[in-house]
Amino acid sequence: MSAINKTHDVNLKSWVASANVSGTDFPIQNLPFAIFRKANSNQEFRGGVAIGDQVLDLDAVVASGVLTGLALEAATAANAPALNEFMGMGKAYWSALRLALSDALAEGSAHQSALESALIAQADVEYALPCHIGDYTDFYTSIYHATAVGSLFRPDNPLLPNYKWVPIGYHGRASSIGVSGQAFPRPKGQTKAPDADVPSFGPAKRMDYELEVGIYLGKGNELGDAININDAEDHVFGFCLFNDWSARDLQAWEYQPLGPFLAKNFASTVSPWIVTTEALAPYRTQWHRDENDPQPLEYLESSHNREAGAIDIQMDVLLETEKMRNEGMEASKLSESSFKHSYWTVAQMVTHHTVNGCNFVPGDMLGSGTQSGPEHEEAGSMLELSRGGKESIKLNNGEERKFLEDGDKVIMRGWCEADGFNRIGFGRVEGTVLPAK
C-alpha cells in the first residue's frame, strides 16, 4: 500500500501556474498519466502527464535529459502509444518517475527552462485509451446498488445470499471500451414485455449509465499464483472514472441464469487520465463490515485493509440533453456518491480474482460496479433514480427523463479531498447516446 511522502505535501507548488489554481483537478500532487497527441494531427500517440491545464509530453521529457536512473527507464517505457510496458514495471519504477516529475515541476526547479517547451495545452490535444485493455472484469461492490436493483428484478429476494460472502463479478467486453468522448448507437436486442407471450427485437428503450471506478492492473502474476491481500495494491497501477452503459430492458430478459451479456457489451467509456495508486494515498479511509453481516473469509481479511482499504473518491453525474446543448444551457446534475461506500475493497477484488490462480497482465481493468450511496439521491444509475422507470427525473431546464434518450450526453466527474492535503481530480468522462442504426 502506497505511503504518504513529499509528493503529497499540501504546500508544494509548481512553476506551471495553472497547477496552483484552487479547484484544479491536476495540481502537482496528482500527476496522472494518459496517452495523447495534438488534436487533428497525424502525430503518434504517446505518454503524457497532466499538470494544471497542460500536458507534459513525455517524449520531450525523455529527450531533455533531466531524468536519470529508474525514472528515465520508466519515462522511456511510458513514452509509447500505450502505457502497458510502464504499468508492468512495478511500484519502484512508478514511484521513481512520480518523484522525479514532482521535483522537476516544483517551484524553483532547475529544470524549468528545459521543460517549459514540453508543455502542451490540454485544450489542444486528443486522447486514446491509456493502455491496451486485454481483459476487463466488472464487479458489483455497492451493496446499496445491489439491493436497489435486486428489489426491482427480484422483489422477493433482492440480495442473493452469496453477495456478503464473495466479491461478485462477471467477464466484460474489453473491445467496446472507449475513451471519453465516445459516442455509440443505441443497441438492439431482445426484450420481453411483462404482458407479452414472446420476446420482440428492436432498439433498447431503457438506456442507462452506471457510475463506476475503473481500476487498472500493473504488474501481473503468473498463472496459478494467487495475489495475497497484503500485496494486492502493489499490483494496482491506478484508477479512472468508468461509465458502464447498460440497456436495462435487454438486461431484464437475458440476465438469468448467466448474468449480463448484450445489455452491457455494446459500449463502456473511461476517462483519459489514470490517477496513480500512490497519488491516492492521502484519501484512504477505514473499511469496515457491519458486525451483523458475515465477516470476510481469512484470505480476504487483513489489518491493513481494515485500517485504510477504502478510498474516498467523490463522484457526480450530469446529464446534457440535446436541447440543453442547442440552447447553450448547463448540464443538469443527477446525483453524487463516493467510492468509500463500496462493500468490497480494491485489495479484496484483486485477491479474490486471483485466488483460483487466474493471471493478470499489465493493462487489465476491473470495474467497481455501480457506486451508489445509502441515500436515494446518491444512486449511481437512472434505474435507481427513476425507481425502475416509475418516477420521472426532473432536469434543471424543465425536461424530464426516466431513461436516456438519443442525443443525451452523460458527464461524470471525480475528485478527492482530505484535511491537510490538496484536492486532486480525475477530470471527466463523457459519452453520448446516438440513434440506433
Q: Is 271 within any annotated ligand binding site?
A: no
366, 137 contact by CB (below 8 A)? yes
Can you tell me the distance from the alpha carbon of 7 to that of 339, in angstroms, rounded to the nearest whole number?
23
CA 275 to chain CA centroid, nearest Å: 9
Can you tell me the distance from the alpha carbon of 273 to that of 323, in angstroms, rounded to the nearest whole number?
29
Q: Which residue, among 302, 275, 320, 337, has the nearest Cα to 143 in the 3D structure?
A: 337
* The three cell numbers locating residue 432: 453520448
* 145 in active site: yes
Length of the chain: 437
Q: Is 225 within any annotated ligand binding site?
A: no
CA 379 to chain CA centroid, nearest Å: 17
- What Rg value do the Cα atoms of the chain yield, rounded? 22
Q: Is 353 exposed, middle or buried (0-12, 13-18, 19+ CB in 10 A)?
A: buried
Q: Is 212 within any annotated ligand binding site?
A: yes
Q: One of 111, 145, 352, 353 is an active-site residue; which one? A: 145
- Going by C-beta distance under 8 Å and a sequence separation of 6 or more, which residues neighbour residue 427? 25, 26, 32, 50, 180, 241, 271, 272, 273, 413, 414
Q: Is 370 within any annotated ligand binding site?
A: yes
Indicate the angle between helix axes 69-78 and 91-105, nearest 10 degrees.
100
Q: Which residue, among 349, 362, 430, 350, has the nearest Cα to 131 in the 3D structure?
A: 362
Q: Is the dihedral of CA 76, 81, 84, 85 positive or negative?
A: negative
Amino acid at 45: F
Q: Is 290 within any annotated ligand binding site?
A: no
Q: Is 343 within any annotated ligand binding site?
A: no
Can you tell me the distance from the alpha carbon of 165 to that of 162, in angstroms, rounded to the nearest whole number?
5
127, 35 contact by CB (below 8 A)? yes
- Going by C-beta distance under 8 Å and a sequence separation of 6 or more, which residues neighbour residue 99? 5, 6, 7, 71
Alpha helices in 340-385 (DSSP H): 346-354, 382-385
Q: Is 210 within any annotated ligand binding site?
A: yes
Amino acid at 431: G
Q: Which residues are annotated as a binding site for substrate?
A: 140, 154, 251, 255, 370
Q: Which residues are annotated as a binding site for Mg(2+)?
A: 244, 264, 268
Q: Which residues are catalytic?
A: 145
Q: Which residues are annotated as a binding site?
A: 138, 140, 154, 210, 212, 244, 251, 255, 264, 268, 370
Q: Which residues are annotated as a binding site for Ca(2+)?
A: 138, 210, 212, 244
